[in-house]
């Protein structure tokens, strides 16, 4: 597989959606926020495949929605379809605050080796070179949710950095999924758990701004199975996940 032909290599959006879905467990309570097409698709994929009892929560306040057409905005009223109750965003933060949210999906423009994120500013916070959108709920959720799964569609040295310009949020990061690999956080630090098919180890080392250890013994992420690909095509026929790239 490591030497597989080019045609065997899944696209980054597909590999990331599948890798994110595999991290989710049946019966757990999972939340994503704004600007989160990949988590939205990953949650729906996990529910279809191995986690039918996962409780899917999002900012619209719907619970286990069954959207007919997937929106690009992940706060869209399209995510209300099929819900049988409605909670508020405050309810969702409260859920996390009292330790009842199992998994939250978050992202960072910069991510450091401790799995902390910067979503606020590049350069000095008070005189930024680039003002970023802000961390949304991350500063409150990352320390209180039982685990955080980070995803980021760029994997380069400007993203995976030795030093954050600003710490927007810090907390219970479990995994980080990128176009190149899956990181697991062990004893506080991000370590490469698996390298995606077709990714050169040197390219991964080169693209990561903090020290990582990878060699030929580092596991490869299993490529998407036929079942995963079929389910993904049914859930996301227009490839909303590609909007993040």
**Least distance from C-beta 197 to another protein, angstroms?**
25
Residue ranges in contact with another protein by CB under 8 A: 34-37, 59-62, 72-77, 80, 86, 88-90, 93, 96-98, 116, 120, 125-144, 166-171, 243-244
Nearest to 207 by CA among 178, 165, 241, 176: 178
Q: Which is nearer to another protein, 97 or 214 (CB)?
A: 97
Q: How far apart are CA 228 and CA 92, in angstroms?
A: 29
Instruction: Decide whether 132 or 229 has the Cβ nearer to another protein.
Output: 132
Q: How far is the CB of 36 from another protein (least distance, A)?
A: 8
Whose Cβ is closer to another protein: residue 162's or residue 206's?
162
CB of 217 to another protein, least distance (A): 33
Q: Rounded distance, CA 147 to CA 210, Å?
A: 22
Closest distance of CB 27 from another protein, Å: 24
Q: Sort strands 147-151 and 103-106 into parallel, antiparallel or unpaired.
A: parallel
Neighbours of 51 (CB within 10 A): 20
| Closer residue to another protein in complex, CB, 14/204 | 14
Retrieve residue 70's tokens: 């997937």
The CA-based diameter of the chain, rounded to the nearest angstrom, is 50
């Amino acid at each position: 597989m490591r030497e597989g032909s080019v045609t065997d290599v899944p696209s980054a959006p597909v590999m990331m959606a599948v890798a994110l879905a595999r991290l989710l467990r049946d019966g757990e309570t999972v939340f994503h926020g704004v600007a989160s097409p990949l988590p939205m698709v990953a949650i729906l994929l996990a529910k279809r495949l191995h986690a039918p009892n996962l409780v899917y929560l999002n900012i619209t306040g719907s619970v286990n929605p069954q959207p007919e057409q997937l929106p690009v905005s992940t706060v869209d009223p399209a995510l209300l379809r099929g819900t049988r109750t409605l909670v508020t965003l405050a309810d969702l933060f409260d859920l996390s605050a009292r330790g009842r949210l199992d998994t939250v999906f978050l992202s960072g423009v910069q991510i450091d080796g401790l799995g902390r994120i910067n979503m606020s500013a590049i350069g000095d916070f008070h005189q930024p070179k680039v003002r970023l959108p802000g961390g949304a709920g991350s500063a409150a959720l990352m320390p209180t949710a039982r685990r955080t799964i980070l995803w980021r569609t760029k994997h380069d040295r400007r993203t995976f950095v030795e030093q954050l310009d600003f710490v927007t949020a810090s907390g219970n990061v479990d995994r980080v999924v990128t176009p190149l690999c899956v990181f697991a956080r062990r004893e506080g630090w991000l370590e490469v758990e698996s390298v995606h098919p077709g990714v050169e180890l040197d390219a991964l080392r080169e693209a990561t701004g903090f020290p990582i250890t990878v060699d030929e013994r580092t596991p490869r992420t299993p490529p998407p199975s036929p079942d995963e690909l079929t389910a993904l095509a049914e859930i996301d026929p227009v490839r909303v996940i590609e909007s993040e790239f």
